[in-house]
Structure 1
Amino acid sequence: PQGADVVDGRACFRLAEVGTLRLPDAEDPDDQTGDGTKWQLQFLLRATADPSLLLSAGQIWSGEANGLVRDPRGLFVAELGRAALVEPMLAPALRRTQPSEYDLTVEEAEHFLTSGATRLIEAGFEVQLPATWDGRRRLGLRLSVRSTPSEQVVTRSRVGRDELAAFRWSIAVGDDELGEEELARLVAAKTPLVRLRGRWVSVDADRLRAGLEFLRRDPHRRTPRPTAAELLELVRVSQETPLPVTGVRADGWVGDVLAGRVQQRLPPVALPPSFRATLRPYQQRGVAWLAFMSALGLGACLADDMGLGKTVQTLALEAVERAGGERGPTLVLCPMSLVGMWQREAANFAPELRVLAHHGSARAHGDVLAERVAAADLVVTTYATAARDAGELAAITWRRLVLDEAHAIKNADTATAKAVRRFPAGHRLALTGTPVENRLADLWSVLDLLNPGLLGSRFEFRQRFAAPIERRGDSATAAELRRLTQPYLLRRVKTDPAIVPELPEKIEIRQEYRLTREQGTLYRAIVDEMMTKIENSHGIKRRGHVLAAITKLKQVCNHPAHLLHDGSPLGDRSGKVVRLEEVLAEILASGDRVLCFTQYTEFGHLLVPHLAGRLGVEVGFLHGGLAKGARDAIVDRFQAGEGPRILLLSLKAGGSGLTLTAAAQVLHLDRWWNPAVENQATDRAFRIGQGRTVQVRKFVCPGTIEDRIDTLITKKRALAGMVVGEGESWLTELSGDALRGMFALGEDAIDD
């Protein structure tokens, strides 16, 4: 409507339902509605100067309008001509002399209501539609789901999962659900415009018929009780439906899952008296969520930040279910370095759980394995062993499959990932501290393993989600993906204001790893060589040999190149360094800054270029060889949140007078015999009142001197008479047998 403000008037089109003026009982060919009415489009003109003035075509052609607007007839004809260009359906009416109204067929009326009117309004014309027209209301399918309240799911599921939900499809117009009779009448009418409960609605008869057929052969009639996963898929309506799905009504747990409010609805789970850990509130909520997901048979991914206690939440879930009479073994898959941790934590917190560690060359097979598994609650194995023994493990029906450090199977094509998919389990649980949502392919691998088919095939997932999100940064698709995956993921981060008050100021973690074959061979050679020297010497000389032996063993645990001083590349020759890379990658992904303490400056110099290359980031190093100014500059940048997020420190340089509270993570790469020195180092990062939790990880290889030191330091508090505080000198007084026991390499020290 260019220059519309200059025009004296504007055409108005009124669609009216007018009586056919026949006697009610007479045969009426003009009756289009069954109510003795027909559809008529009437032409009018509204004056610009006085908008209350609406002139009918009759007034214009009779001359009544003259003087009220300038040249009413010319204006009216021009306006109608302009309208016919926008809506060609009007053209025939304008061929008549003095056009004033136009009788429409039902099809034309429906076309005008659903599209013509909108086009005319957009072009600046006025359109009046009958008050009984309800064009906003679409014909569509509605899904109603009734389900058990969330808080009753866990108790009810013991009776049977079948009873937890039921659903029903119906056809609705807008908010009105239609009964069978109304539907039958609509289908029989075979007309695009139907009066429904006093309102006119546009209906596509073919689609309506298809919708009716869909209801009659309800897609889930074959499986009268869908699984929870099928229900959630149904509610998200990924399937093709003949009519658009215009409404989903869900109460109970299904409604809570869709709205993302399950967490608020679940009551805490009562832990059995045999469970010995005191859970923090967020951990209690985690266990309640895991029990809820398990009761529904939905695969779950617990993705809490590192250090928030995913293992203890899993053990609590197991303890609760066993106390409730659940039977059948749970298979835990984890990296080799965590097998001992699972055994230890289970023994500490859930001593009634029977744990079987299945790994190493002496592990059971065949009938013996079957017997041992039958007598266990928890079977812990490594990803590598699971791939090797896939045939045997797939023949067992597992109560649950737990994938610890689940990002280990993020590549769905590996032999391990393929093997794990074959293990039959009533419930699947993935634990990962890495935010999976950062890399969409990983998210697909983990969630597809937990709930096969949830996100479609990998190809479908890439087309529907990964490509639009990663290439185009499509936020609507990202939101849809979040909505789709949110029910299956629980992630709490340690900076979350809701969790901060629940955390202690310091969380200590024993970070286990295993030696490589090369390290193991060197370790044994040192023990043999040094024990010979020790046994053949006395006094100060013997003392010197003992201390030299301890140093060499510590160095070989760090890296063969640290022991040999040969400048050879680090590669993957050290279990400790490989584990360190994994831990650092996770810390970087979570956005934290980290301090890594070593007592050997030489080891620090080896690590800096290696870690920088592997992780693709700058690595800082604070050591005694730096001038004071250089050291101060490194500290200031680190504290200001600038520069490298990984800072290595040699223990002596890091020992005194430094404040590095910008770090939320502290790693002790090698062990000091004196706990006071270690604690002093930890306290660089840890100042009371710094307002957040610091996580302290101490690297320990089971079955090595590190393990023995760790045990001794822990016991030392009980052995008041032993002055461990004097550094390593007291060790030199131990007898030959005691030293051999201290030095010997345990069978669990080497990675399988």
Structure 2
Amino acid sequence: MWAVHALCTGDGRLVLWAEDSELPARVPGRAPRGPLAHPFAVAGEALRDGLGAERSEVVATHVQLPSYASAPVPSPELVRDPLTAGPTPRGKLRLREWVVPAVSCHPAEVAELLDEGGPGCRFGASARFLRGLTEWAEQLVSRGRVLPALVDADGEPTARWRPVLSSTDSAHFVALRDAMPPAFRCARGDAPAEVLRTAVEALVDGLVRGRVADLEPAHGRTAAAAWLRALTGDPRVDGAAGRLRGLARELDAWRASGGQDKPVRTCFRLHAPEDDDEDWCLEFLLQAADDPSVLVPASEVWRAHGGVLQRWVDEPEELLLADLGAASRIVPALDAALRVPHPSELLLDVDGAHEFLTHAALLDQAGFGVLLPSWWGRPEQLGLKLTATSTGTTGAVTKESGVGLADLVDYRWDLALGTEQLTEAELEELAAAKVPLVRLRGRWVRLDRERLAAGLAFLERSGSGQMTAGDVLLQAGLPAEDEQRPMPVVEVDARGWVGDLLSGQLEQRLEPVEPPAGFTATLRPYQQRGLAWLAFLDRLGLGACLADDMGLGKTVQLLALEVLARERGPRGPTLLVCPMSVVGNWQREAARFAPSLAVHVHHGSDRLTGEALREEVGRYDLVITTYPLAARDADALREVRWDRVVLDEAQNVKNSRSRQAQAVRGLSARQRIALTGTPVENRLAELWSILDFANPGMLGPLSTFRARFAVPIERDGDTEAAGRLRRVTGPFVLRRVKTDPAIIDDLPDKVEMKQLCNLTAEQASLYQAVVDDMLARIDDSEGVERRGLVLATMSKLKQVCNHPAQLLGDGSPLPGRSGKVARLEEILESVLAEGDKALCFTQFAGFAGMLVPHLAARFDTEVLLLHGGTPKRERDELVRRFQEADGPAVFLLSLKAGGTGLTLTAANHVIHLDRWWNPAVEDQATDRAFRIGQRRDVQVRKLTCIGTLEEKVDRLMADKKALARLVVGSGENWLTELSTSQLRELVSLEAEAVGE
């Protein structure tokens, strides 16, 4: 595995280099003076090929790194197999210069390289920093925040595209400077601000050149023509030195006229009038460009003649006057401030204040600081309030009242400011206002007279009447105006069952539903409420996203809904799409808790298609298939009219453009349900994808969703947009977490569950080979030899079930080869998304060592390992770190070394990667987390491969618990006494064991 790092060199190049976990961890002996080759750096050509950096150049770069006497300290992102890494170097740490082979990246390809990386790559903090820096540079270029320049680079006149930072951009620059990892500047001794400025300029110049490369080059022999040609081609400018110096001075003066590249800039702060005062006050201040928190009022500048600002600029008074003159070209009203000797503020009337507010963005783009009243940035919007009243109650709905989205409800439209409905008197006052800013209910409001007139006309035309319940839901989900409505809907006040749906408290309002007679599980109170919510949306034909926390029983709630629906009347089949790793879980859970359901698995090379498929599925209640097959058989599955389509682990369709996401969207169904414990993993676009499956079109096109919700929330932290999104999605998303007060009392102290996994084709082939070898040799052996053969075979079969690489011992890569590892990744993904911690036990220390670098790279987090060879001092340190609130979240332990004597109550998840046939041993390991000091409920998962030795022994133990506790107490020895026919039956591989 590689740990990839980024840095900015002294000559402005952006380079990537990497450490390889497979190379030696140290250099023997004491290193001589002078820079040495980094001992475990990836070769430059290998790195270029691994990253796919075809346009990049391999270079040797000198870096300063924390080092011991004999070797550099491995970066935190470099994870080695702890069992083969050798001892950790010790001694005094100091900075030492090393030479690393690196890839000098073309700025236009940096984003692509850092977005995709390569197999087995883990990005370090510096590489992630460069990725964020590249995204910001792309924003600057897209917004046109660049200017051409002529600079001196190593004695040669050079054309450059340089960033132009607004006040907001300057603040972002400061935040990036403070967040810069030391590794990003380990090749040069400059201050962080200078390194950042160099990196941003390199990115901006490369990105702009990528966009203008196809422009027709300028013709002529003048200095300006040579400079223009250099802006789109070779950056070196040919021409007479004198003429180029003159052009450079003119360009510098032009750039400076825009208020850029100055350590101090003028800032304007607008104060709204208070009480009975009618004047607005525009205050002038000077602000440090690299530290926006330094704000000095102009009155103090004149009184102290610069004062604290002299640290940045010698003559701040002259700068203030020059900036006011430049700003007056944007806001002419500022001319009045220049008529007094020492301008510090300007009084404005309402019209003048509105003119300044509307030009504030232009001032910001010109590089001035602008501080506006908070209500201007997020004004309370003049919009429409919809009041709708439906007949019937929630209780009636749960008793087959027959209401639905086609029912007519009474409605009335009103104008509202924010969520406050305006009175007739206030509307008359607004209509009579002659100015764009109005004080209403004690606060200032920006009035759009055209919108107000259109709103009043809309009320006269469509003020009240009747509409369908579905239209009410549509209005709640469409806050922007359309052809029928002249302004946004700022509030929907619905009453009756529609009000319950939109209340945000639907789960609490619904009467809990008792599980049907054909359902054998006992539902907990919160699960009964979840069933009631699902049944409610089922009757209305609305899609649902059940997003309960992992371990709260989404499976049993869905199965209870299926049984309930079937007992209420004939229904078509339900199609359930899930990862291959949980197909077996669904089969067995359905057989256990919903035996009345007829279940069919659409999988395998002999699966049906076309007319045969339509006839076959009609005989079943629940049809289970996988995401890859849903995409592969999309045409055949679309021909079936499904009553319901359910997506389990619905985060599999978080990428709306993926083939499987498009396939499941194309399925025809009366209702759609998404089950996921992580509805949002990285971006809000993932939530859109899941909900667009459940209720197509509810959130509009993805582009509209991004503009309306994703960008304001993710980039700006817009709480109003977040609240609006909750209002729109709330009726259709039910999420309960384990820490909810209403949930925690419902949960038992410890929840144990089996996680059934499939084998890959490679695992199945190896498994069968081991079985065939044992059966061929066992008839010719007896006594100790036979028992040894059986035990060795059992161990090999367990290793195959874990991962082929464990049995083969060839150091081959792990991804995509083991159903059990895939299921472990899915579980840990949910655990980490919830901020929880997990213990992972295995009886094979070697397997744990293989998993450490794999999981660390997969989740970009530190993974701890404790095994029998761990010294006591290191063992204690591992436990201490894991128990800390901000310590590592994943702890791998060998069953023998970590199964007793430890207190690890920071974990509330325990995962047994492979089965120990003595239940007491597993219970002892589980008790590392489930013991005194544990304040949360513990979820225990035992990973078991379907149709293999693991499942069959587990089934045998479950069927004969009393006997098993007696005979299994000595470990696996009881297996050696089975007859050959019993062994053959026990180890034989069943067809359902193999996944995709």
1:296 Cα deviation after fit: 2.3
Give the structure 2 partner of residue 40 of structure 1: none
- Does the Cα contact within 8 Å between 1:674 and 1:727 map onto a contact in 2? yes
Residue pairs, 1:650-669, within 5 angstroms: 650-669=894-913
Q: Equivalents in 2 of 1:458, 1:664: separation in Å?
A: 37
**546-555 vs 341-350, which deviates more?**
341-350
State the secondary structure of the residue aligned to 1:684. Answer: coil
| Equivalent residue for 2:486, pick from 239, 242, 257 | 242
Aligned residue type for 2:388: V
Give the structure 1 partner of residue 664 of structure 2: 420
| Equivalent residue for 2:714, pick from 450, 470, 473 | 470
Q: Equivalents in 2 of 1:115, 1:349: separation in Å?
A: 70
- Does the Cα contact within 8 Å between 1:596 and 1:649 map onto a contact in 2? yes
Q: Equivalents in 2 of 1:485, 1:298: separation in Å?
A: 12
Pair 1:146 & 2:369 matched: no
Residue pairs, 1:48-447, within 5 angstroms: 142-147=385-390, 148-156=392-400, 158=402, 161-163=405-407, 165-169=409-413, 212=457, 216=461, 226=470, 229-230=473-474, 232-233=476-477, 236=479, 239=482, 241-242=485-486, 248-436=492-680, 438-447=682-691
* Alpha carbons of structure 1 residues 347 and 651: separation in structure 2 relative to 1, 3 Å: same
State the secondary structure of the residue aligned to 1:145. Answer: strand
The number of aligned residues is 609
Give the structure 1 partner of residue 23 of structure 2: none
Q: Equivalents in 1 of 2:489, 2:965: separation in Å?
A: 76
1:394 Cα deviation after fit: 0.8
Give the structure 1 partner of residue 157 of structure 2: none
Give the structure 2 partner of residue 79 of structure 1: none
Pair 1:520 & 2:764 matched: yes
Q: Equivalents in 1 of 2:844, 2:572: separation in Å?
A: 48
1:158 Cα deviation after fit: 3.4
Higher relative contact order (CA 8 A, sep 6+): 1
**596-605 vs 366-375, which deviates more?**
366-375
- Does the Cα contact within 8 Å between 1:329 and 1:379 map onto a contact in 2? yes
Q: Equivalents in 1 of 2:414, 2:277: separation in Å?
A: 42
- Does the Cα contact within 8 Å between 1:275 and 1:319 map onto a contact in 2? yes
Instruction: Kindly provide the CA deviation profile for residues 453-481 of structure 1, in whole angstroms up to 9, marking residues without a partner as x.
Output: 22221112222222222223333322322
**616-625 vs 562-571, which deviates more?**
562-571
Q: Equivalents in 2 of 1:140, 1:533: separation in Å?
A: 82
Gapped regions of structure 1 (runs ≥ 5):
1-9, 13-84, 86-113, 120-137, 194-201
State the secondary structure of the residue aligned to 2:745. Answer: helix
Pair 1:454 & 2:698 matched: yes
Aligned residue type for 2:943: F
Instruction: Kindly provide the CA deviation profile for residues 293-323 of structure 1, in whole angstroms up to 9, marking residues without a partner as x.
Output: 2222221111111110000011111122222
1:640 Cα deviation after fit: 2.9
Q: Equivalents in 1 of 2:549, 2:565: separation in Å?
A: 25
- Does the Cα contact within 8 Å between 2:910 and 2:929 map onto a contact in 1? yes
Aligned residue type for 2:792: A
* Alpha carbons of structure 1 residues 326 and 171: separation in structure 2 relative to 1, 3 Å: farther
Q: RMSD of the TM alignment (CA)?
A: 3.4
- Does the Cα contact within 8 Å between 1:142 and 1:171 map onto a contact in 2? yes
TM-score of the two chains, using structure 2 as the length reference: 0.57
* Alpha carbons of structure 1 residues 600 and 191: separation in structure 2 relative to 1, 3 Å: closer
Instruction: Kindly provide the CA deviation profile for residues 142-162 of structure 1, in whole angstroms up to 9, marking residues without a partner as x.
Output: 533112323322335536542
Give the structure 2 partner of residue 566 of structure 1: 810
Aligned residue type for 1:429: I
- Does the Cα contact within 8 Å between 1:253 and 1:262 map onto a contact in 2? no
| Equivalent residue for 1:587, pick from 820, 831, 844 | 831
State the secondary structure of the residue aligned to 1:361. Answer: coil
Instruction: Kindly provide the CA deviation profile for residues 43-94 of structure 1, in whole angstroms up to 9, marking residues without a partner as x.
Output: xxxxxxxxxxxxxxxxxxxxxxxxxxxxxxxxxxxxxxxxxx9xxxxxxxxx
* Alpha carbons of structure 1 residues 177 and 425: separation in structure 2 relative to 1, 3 Å: farther
Q: Equivalents in 1 of 2:645, 2:448: separation in Å?
A: 51
Q: Equivalents in 2 of 1:465, 1:636: separation in Å?
A: 42
- Does the Cα contact within 8 Å between 1:153 and 1:164 map onto a contact in 2? no
State the secondary structure of the residue aligned to 1:364. Answer: coil
Aligned residue type for 2:577: L
Aligned residue type for 1:302: L
- Does the Cα contact within 8 Å between 2:712 and 2:718 map onto a contact in 1? yes
Give the structure 2 partner of residue 56 of structure 1: none
* Alpha carbons of structure 1 residues 206 and 445: separation in structure 2 relative to 1, 3 Å: closer
* Alpha carbons of structure 1 residues 548 and 462: separation in structure 2 relative to 1, 3 Å: same
1:729 Cα deviation after fit: 1.1
Pair 1:486 & 2:727 matched: no
**710-719 vs 499-508, which deviates more?**
710-719
**711-720 vs 730-739, which deviates more?**
711-720
Pair 1:693 & 2:955 matched: no
State the secondary structure of the residue aligned to 1:707. Answer: helix
Instruction: Kindly provide the CA deviation profile for residues 244-289 of structure 1, in whole angstroms up to 9, marking residues without a partner as x.
Output: 7576442113323333121221111232222111111111111111
* Alpha carbons of structure 1 residues 550 and 204: separation in structure 2 relative to 1, 3 Å: closer
Q: Equivalents in 2 of 1:488, 1:164: separation in Å?
A: 21
**693-702 vs 347-356, which deviates more?**
347-356
Q: Aligned residues: percent identity?
A: 55
| Equivalent residue for 2:881, pick from 621, 634, 637 | 637
TM-score of the two chains, using structure 1 as the length reference: 0.75
1:642 Cα deviation after fit: 4.5
- Does the Cα contact within 8 Å between 1:435 and 1:590 map onto a contact in 2? no
Q: Equivalents in 2 of 1:598, 1:118: separation in Å?
A: 70
* Alpha carbons of structure 1 residues 407 and 592: separation in structure 2 relative to 1, 3 Å: same
* Alpha carbons of structure 1 residues 217 and 435: separation in structure 2 relative to 1, 3 Å: closer
1:117 Cα deviation after fit: 14
Q: Equivalents in 2 of 1:656, 1:342: separation in Å?
A: 33
Pair 1:716 & 2:960 matched: yes
Q: Equivalents in 1 of 2:277, 2:767: separation in Å?
A: 97
Q: Equivalents in 2 of 1:435, 1:484: separation in Å?
A: 15
1:169 Cα deviation after fit: 4.2
1:371 Cα deviation after fit: 2.1
Q: Equivalents in 2 of 1:324, 1:330: separation in Å?
A: 15
Aligned residue type for 1:513: C
Q: Equivalents in 2 of 1:454, 1:468: separation in Å?
A: 19
1:718 Cα deviation after fit: 4.8
Aligned residue type for 2:762: E
Aligned residue type for 2:652: A
* Alpha carbons of structure 1 residues 259 and 717: separation in structure 2 relative to 1, 3 Å: same
* Alpha carbons of structure 1 residues 203 and 517: separation in structure 2 relative to 1, 3 Å: closer
Give the structure 2 partner of residue 103 of structure 1: none
Give the structure 2 partner of residue 111 of structure 1: none
Q: Equivalents in 2 of 1:307, 1:225: separation in Å?
A: 35
Q: Equivalents in 2 of 1:642, 1:735: separation in Å?
A: 52
- Does the Cα contact within 8 Å between 1:703 and 1:749 map onto a contact in 2? yes
* Alpha carbons of structure 1 residues 170 and 502: separation in structure 2 relative to 1, 3 Å: closer
1:586 Cα deviation after fit: 1.3
1:326 Cα deviation after fit: 4.7
Q: Equivalents in 1 of 2:490, 2:710: separation in Å?
A: 27
Aligned residue type for 1:397: R
State the secondary structure of the residue aligned to 1:509. Answer: strand
- Does the Cα contact within 8 Å between 1:608 and 1:621 map onto a contact in 2? yes
Give the structure 1 partner of residue 146 of structure 2: none
Runs of 4+ deviating beyond 4 Å: 114-119, 138-142, 168-178, 190-193, 202-221, 243-248
- Does the Cα contact within 8 Å between 1:336 and 1:751 map onto a contact in 2? yes
